Amino acid sequence: MTADPSEPVGSLAVALAHGARMLEPAPSRAKAQAEEILRQIPGQRDAILLLGRALGAMGEPTAGAATVRQLIERDPQDAGAWRTLADIFHLAGDIAAADAAHTEAVRAGVADPTLVAAALALREGRLAAAEPGLRARLKSEPTDVAAIRMLAEVAAQIGRYEDAVNLLARCLELNPGFHEARRAYAQVLLRHERPLDALAEVERLMALSPKDVGYCMLKAAILAKLGDHDGAIRLYDDLLAQLPGNPKGWMSYGHVLKTVGRRADGVAAYRRALEQAPQLGEAWWSLANLKTFRFDAGDIAMLRAQLARTDLDPDDRLHLHFALAKALEDEAHFAESFEHYSRGNAIRRSQRGYEPRETTDFVQRSRSLLDQAFFAERRGGGCPARDPIFIVGLPRSGSTLVEQILSSHSQVEGTAELADLTSIVRRLGARRPPGGEPGYPQILAALSPADRTALGEEYLERTRAQRKTDRPLFIDKLPNNWMHVGLIQLILPKATIIDARRHPLACCLSGFKQHFARGQAFSYGLEDIGLYYRDYVALMAHFDAVLPGRAHRVIYERMVADTEGEVRRLLAHVGLAFEPACLEFWTNDRAVRTASSEQVRQPIFGDAVEHWRNFEPWLEPLKSALGPVLASYPEAPACDEL
């Protein structure tokens, strides 16, 4: 016998769940269920919420809202009641009222145990602890905008920017006046390489609060990302004149000053930050990351003192370890230096995680799919523009040097490490070809000539915001694009590809010693980075075989030994006439955003080529991971060894 939906079924929890299931298909039955519960248990909170939702779903928002307001009058801090009220208004199309109710729900939820626990876990970097509680909350309360924003923060911190963007877009759809969520949205858009969209969001916030320090700093960071360094500097100048006691403002100011070559001013800005907040690890690391900077004895003592503190944020601690390691390396205390590099890397690795097998599997799938026949069958299509010059390889391989040499040519503009190709890859990876295997690179087999042309044109359009001159060629120096040489060939068949390569021990150790602002999760363990280098060599050797001559290889040690000869060969591959300015690249005053920004403002010196030997006693895990790649450098091992 079927139960009468107008009567409570079983326990209270079962009865409420039954009513909730009726909300969408039969809201009148949900209303009847709620009313029956309230007859038996007058004032029961969840039944009142169910009744309010049912009335809203039946097209009676005024009655539904009045019902829920009983609970708010009883307890103004009932965040669930405010959320239900917001849902009723949203369903009725009253976005302003829904927005106001969601805002009240956020305020009322500041003491919510689930959200408090998640916030604490986020602050302490325990992302795995924060996520389950937030997902459970959203399963039961899908419009809890505070939980949505916090889950987006989890996604952003582990690099799932697409997820973070989508979550925050939903959050703002529900609660347009949730300014903290909009600020987070702008930040994630910036990290997701959508700076123009990020700028639009932060300008909406600044229209309401033009002097808000956080908004001004975020806008300055966006302008710097867009290459408007003068605009960013003007913002920081104004901000810090009004609020000189802002250590993170001084640090961010230092970043921009360093980028445009104002080294002394950048150092002074970092020093101002540390005077105000000596525990600010990123400012210490920013000084170390100038590479040509040297800490004095007082600095080293201060670094040790800060590391002795027990109240440090994990990010401050790892930056301090990296900075002290660099200081000790400069003092030739290599054993202790390596210990601090290792400790900083261990913290970062625990935060980010990396699974080498996933990279190896990707390389194997790419080599299997992207063979000579594959490219022969796809000669048509693709955007015919030859504008982009892709410099690929590993970080710390000499790629910034190659970029600086090329951008010193009158026909070439240097931009930055652009993530636009990666964004296209993410979108392609989410598609499933008809009857085919999902994911990337398999999806490449399903692209039509028109698809390939459209993707090439999309890449050019996406990167247009980074081009500030009328030079016909521009550089995209994101090293990780070695994974996407096959895609480049399909969508931009006339683009130039340069493979910048450095001795594997020198390159991998340099990556291990470098704390990257984001990405490069493979670099925080010697074995991880060695396996990554090996996979990189394997895939590039494959492309050498199936697309002969497609990528021009620049060996760092050869560039040091015979700079003019290597530069001439490089320019010839790009199709450019030799220009003497390319040999005086250090005089180029362009902005440089990478860790090598100071090094490429000096002539080439050979003293760094063998520097890795200072750390050789600790490199056995790296050597083992590299395997045959180490012995065969600068050539690649035979394919069956990779």
Predicted confidence at residue 203, as pLDDT, reads: 96
In Å, what is the CA distance from 550 to each residue of 158, 364, 386, 445, 629? 34, 20, 13, 20, 21
Query: Confidence class of residue 20 from pLDDT cuts 50, 70 and 90?
Result: confident
Residue where one domain finishes, among candidates 110, 142, 169: 110
Q: Tell me how far apart the alpha carbons of residues 229 and 177 are, in angstroms, rounded to a whole number.
A: 30
Query: Confidence class of residue 589 from pLDDT cuts 50, 70 and 90?
Result: low
Tokens of 196: 């123009």
Task: Please indicate, yes or no, if residue 31 is contained in any of the structural domains.
Answer: yes
Residue pLDDT, tens place only, 220-266: 999 998 889 999 999 999 989 988 998 999 999 999 999 888 999 99
Predicted confidence at residue 243, as pLDDT, reads: 87
The 3 state secondary structure assigned to 363-414 is: HHHHHHHCCHHHHHCCCCCCCCCCCEEEEEECCCCCHHHHHHHHHCCCCEEE
Q: 15 and 9 in contact (C-beta within 8 Å)?
A: yes
Predicted confidence at residue 7, as pLDDT, reads: 43
Task: Please indicate, yes or no, if residue 342 is contained in any of the structural domains.
Answer: no
pTM score: 0.76
The CB density around residue 445, as the number of other CB atoms within 10 Å, is 14
Range of the domain at 98: 12-110
pLDDT over 70, % of the chain: 94
Residue pLDDT, tens place only, 118-168: 888 887 778 888 899 999 999 989 999 999 998 998 998 887 888 999 999
Is residue 327 pLDDT above 70, yes or no? yes
Predicted confidence at residue 591, as pLDDT, reads: 55
Give me the number of domains the chain comprises. Answer: 2
Residue where one domain finishes, among candidates 110, 144, 165: 110
- Residue of 365, 422, 370, 388 whose CA lies nearest to 493: 388
Q: 421 and 478 in contact (C-beta within 8 Å)?
A: yes
Task: Please indicate, yes or no, if residue 306 is contained in any of the structural domains.
Answer: no
Predicted confidence at residue 588, as pLDDT, reads: 65
Task: Please indicate, yes or no, if residue 462 is contained in any of the structural domains.
Answer: yes
User: Residue 474 phi/psi, 5° resolution?
Assistant: -140, 160
For residue 95, the domain's CATH number is 1.25.40.10
Q: Tell me how far apart the alpha carbons of residues 283 and 286 are, in angstroms, rounded to a whole number.
A: 5
Predicted confidence at residue 610, as pLDDT, reads: 85
Residue where one domain finishes, among candidates 110, 138, 166: 110
Q: Tell me how far apart the alpha carbons of residues 597 and 257 are, in angstroms, rounded to a whole number.
A: 11
Instruction: Tell me the HSE value of 564 on the side-chain side, using a 13 A CA sphere.
Output: 2
What is the distance, to the nearest Å, from the Cα of residue 451 to the centroid of all Cα atoms in its chain?
27
Residues 6+ apart with CB under 8 A from 394: 479, 482, 502, 507, 508, 511, 532, 533, 536
The CB density around residue 120, as the number of other CB atoms within 10 Å, is 12
Task: Please indicate, yes or no, if residue 130 is contained in any of the structural domains.
Answer: no
For residue 563, the domain's CATH number is 3.40.50.300
Predicted confidence at residue 213, as pLDDT, reads: 82
Q: What average pLDDT does the segment 452-466 reach?
A: 94
Residue pLDDT, tens place only, 274-322: 999 999 999 999 999 998 899 999 999 999 999 999 999 999 999 999 9
Q: Tell me how far apart the alpha carbons of residues 473 and 471 are, in angstroms, rounded to a whole number.
A: 6
Q: 443 and 428 in contact (C-beta within 8 Å)?
A: yes
Q: How far apart are the first and last CA of the chain?
A: 67
If phi over 0 gives left and psi between -120 and 50 gives alpha, with beta otherwise, what is residue 396?
A: left
Tokens of 142: 């899908």
Is residue 599 pLDDT above 60, yes or no? no
